[in-house]
Amino acid sequence: MAFELIRISNLRNLQECEISPDKGINLFLGNNGSGKTSVLEAIYILGRGRSFRDNQLINVVSKGQSSFTVYGKKRNKAERTEIGINCSHLGCQVRLNGQKVYKLSQIARETPIQIITPRSHEIVDTGSSIRRRFIEWGVFHVEHQYQYYSSRYQRALTQRNRALKENPVLAKVWDREIVESGDRVDQLRKAYFLALNQEFKIQLDNLASVLRPDIGFYQGWPKEKTFEESLEESFEGDKIRQHTRFGPHRADVTFRIGKTPLGKWGSRGELKIVIYALFLAQANIIKNHIESFPILLVDDFSVELDGINAEKILSNLSDHAGQVFLTTSNSHRLLTRQSVKLFHVEQGEIKDLSV
Ligand SMILES: Nc1ncnc2c1ncn2[C@@H]1O[C@H](COP(=O)(O)OP(=O)(O)OP(=O)(O)O)[C@@H](O)[C@H]1O
Ligand SMILES: [Mg+2]
């Protein structure tokens, strides 16, 4: 499903904007500070109900205004969907096809959306939580039961950790629930990871990546033990540390070239190609499940890419067959491509260059 109309008001420096994007690649071109990333932020909010660059949506409201609104209309063959989000200091109101939505997961399921930014290399060279979130987002979209087990696990884990701090005797009460939900979370993640690993190799080939990293999955406890055994054996240590040290909440994905972590090996440009392969792999898996490609946002597209790699990625994004929104402040080469719909962003105004 692709957005055919997007309206943005009072979001950062974008006052009143309306765009009719193409269902393929859309490129937003403009100088620094013109509002390009803000356009992607608006689209991201439509899909996720939150921003990718600020934990507080109130900061996204244009200075001097009291609220921002983003509206999107999507179409897939005969099916139409409308999403509207209005946020002020009183909170956010979300509407899906005119109906109030109370759970963000509802709009998240409606519009799978991913973003690649110049900071996306962090997925391979910083802490594990970003990688876990990446995997969780994919499993959430392909396995509908995942959210149920994951919430159960999180609840039980919170209670167990509280008990470990306040009254350790009660901590074990939660073990059964933790093991039952945690094992399901783990199984669903592993199945997803297998598919991701396969598709990742295909995408590395498609992008002719120089680097061929191996990716591995760490379940969150030693692999020779069951989760139940691990929980049991680590109980005394958990009591001392006052938290649960092993479990799916500690899962991670490793990226390695031989024995070296990928982040310590690859150049910035090489890493970027690997990141694209990873995101495109995820997009393809989701497409196979929901028969629609996720929407892909790419901020500062050409940063760290030479001309050849930029072309290669662009042609793979075209093949990806989903809706893509790119931003760049220097795109002389890309301007010549017929398959890209161009928008110019200047001081918060968006001009469609195709009309
Ligand atoms: N809450 C806000 N209200 C009004 N303007 C804001 C707000 N937050 C940020 N801005 C301004 O909005 C403008 C657009 O920012 P944005 O990050 O979208 O620019 P950009 O085109 O992506 O620039 P760059 O090429 O440097 O990445 C900037 O001038 C920024 O200072
Ligand atoms: Mg920007």
Identity of the amino acid at 352 = D
Q: How far is the C-alpha of 216 from the C-alpha of 261, rounded, in Å?
A: 11
Angle at 185 between CA 216 and CA 254, to 5 degrees: 15
Q: Element (H or E) spanning 342, and its range?
A: strand 340-346
pTM of the model: 0.94
Q: What are 146-191's pLDDT values in tens digits?
A: 999 999 999 999 999 999 999 999 999 999 999 999 999 999 999 9
Q: What are 91-110's pLDDT values in tens digits?
A: 999 999 999 998 888 888 88
Residue 111 has pLDDT above 70, yes or no: yes
Residue 77 has pLDDT above 90, yes or no: no
Structure-block tokens of residue 336:
């010549």
Ranges of CATH 1.20.1050.90 domains, the chain: 118-291
> How confident is the model at residue 335, as a pLDDT?
62
Lowest mean per-residue pLDDT among 227-231, 312-316, 319-323 = 319-323
Q: What are 192-224's pLDDT values in tens digits?
A: 999 999 999 999 999 999 999 999 999 999 999
Residue 81 has pLDDT above 80, yes or no: yes
* pLDDT category of residue 338 using cuts at 50, 70 and 90: low
> How confident is the model at residue 78, as a pLDDT?
79
Mutate to test the pocket of ligand 1, among 11, 28, 38 (most ligand atoms within 8 A of CB): 38
Q: Are 322 and 8 in contact (CB under 8 A)?
A: no
Q: Which residue has the tokens 């150049």?
A: 267
The sign one gets for the Cα dihedral 162, 127, 123, 209 is: negative
Ranges of CATH 3.40.50.300 domains, the chain: 1-112+294-355
> How confident is the model at residue 198, as a pLDDT?
97
Residue 302 has pLDDT above 80, yes or no: yes
Q: How far is the C-alpha of 319 from the C-alpha of 32, rounded, in Å?
A: 29
* pLDDT category of residue 290 using cuts at 50, 70 and 90: confident
Q: Are 157 and 249 in contact (CB under 8 A)?
A: yes
Q: How far is the C-alpha of 157 from the C-alpha of 136, rounded, in Å?
A: 17
Residue 54 has pLDDT above 80, yes or no: yes
Alpha carbon of 58 to ligand 1 centroid (Å): 15
Q: What is the mean pLDDT of residues 308-335?
A: 84
Q: Are 309 and 316 in contact (CB under 8 A)?
A: no
Residue nearest (by alpha carbon) to ligand 1 atom 25: 32
Alpha carbon of 40 to ligand 2 centroid (Å): 9
Alpha carbon of 293 to ligand 1 centroid (Å): 29
Q: Which residues line ligand 1 (CB under 6 A)?
A: 12-13, 30, 32-38, 62-63, 329
For the domain covering 118-291, report its CATH number: 1.20.1050.90
Q: Are 86 and 27 in contact (CB under 8 A)?
A: no
The fold adopted by the segment(s) 1-112+294-355 is Rossmann fold (3.40.50)
How distant, in Å, are the alpha carbons of 46, 80, 103, 228, 245 from that of 49?
Answer: 6, 19, 10, 36, 31
